[in-house]
Amino acid sequence: MKLSSIFYIFLLLLISCFESGKDLQKKQEENQTWILTTLYWQRNFGNCIKTDSNTNTKTCSRRPLGVCNHNQLIVTQAEVNLNLNETNGLLGRTPDCQESILQSGILSLSATTNANSESLKSRYLFQVTESCEGSGYVPSANVRLASFSEIQWLESVRGKIAKAAHTISINGFLPQANRDKANNCLRLEFLEWEKDLAKENVENKVLLEITLP
């Protein structure tokens, strides 16, 4: 009887410890989720004002708090290499994109030097605002600011090549053969939403940033 009582007490203690462990783990998971959610919200909060101290002009974009800093102006060698690899892959798939690639400026992109980096940091100031509208941007009927995800695409390899291809395709001063290749580049390589976004950006209907009054 005494032995069975001891065993029963030990079993209750074991169950209690097990439940406490589960509760503790659940609480830790909830805390971790809350922290990650808070960090995600903070990183994606607001819009970005960039001030050019040389001209005293301010521009605003939909870039959020997490990227509202000088890093958006600096290019690393790793980024250059990645862009070139992606460009070569695209050219291999769609040779008619060659002229669009040349016009996109991707091949002339180089890593930012330390001296240039310091110069950019001294020239430009960044601050987060709740919204560009709250800082003086007045939207017009047929023009809007690109969302952050649209900015990322427009500034990517695909975005730059698509914009160059569209620019070539509508240039009436270029030979028809060049325009046909640009149209083929768009038709064969890019999705409909990519072509639409590139077109709207070239036509200044979707802007990367807006100058504040």
- Asked if residue 62 belongs to a domain, the reply is yes
Which tens digit of pLDDT belongs to each residue from 26-49? 656 655 665 555 555 556 799 999
Q: How far apart are CA 213 and CA 206, in angstroms?
A: 19
pLDDT at res. 15: 60
Give the C-alpha separation, 8 to 21, whole Å. Answer: 20
- Provide the residue range defining the domain that includes 172: 51-211
Q: What is the pLDDT of residue 61?
A: 98
Measured CA to CA, the distance from residue 59 to residue 72 in angstroms comes to: 14
- Residues 128 and 68 sit within 8 Å (Cβ to Cβ): yes
For residue 142, is it within any domain? yes
Looking at residue 24, its pLDDT comes to 62
Domain assignment present for residue 11? The answer is: no
Query: Mind listing the pLDDT tens digit for each residue in 59-113?
Result: 999 999 999 999 999 999 999 999 999 999 999 999 999 999 999 999 999 999 9
Angstrom distance (rounded) from CA 101 to CA 90:
9
99 within domain boundaries: yes
Q: Which amino acid is at 25?
A: Q
Domain total of the chain: 1
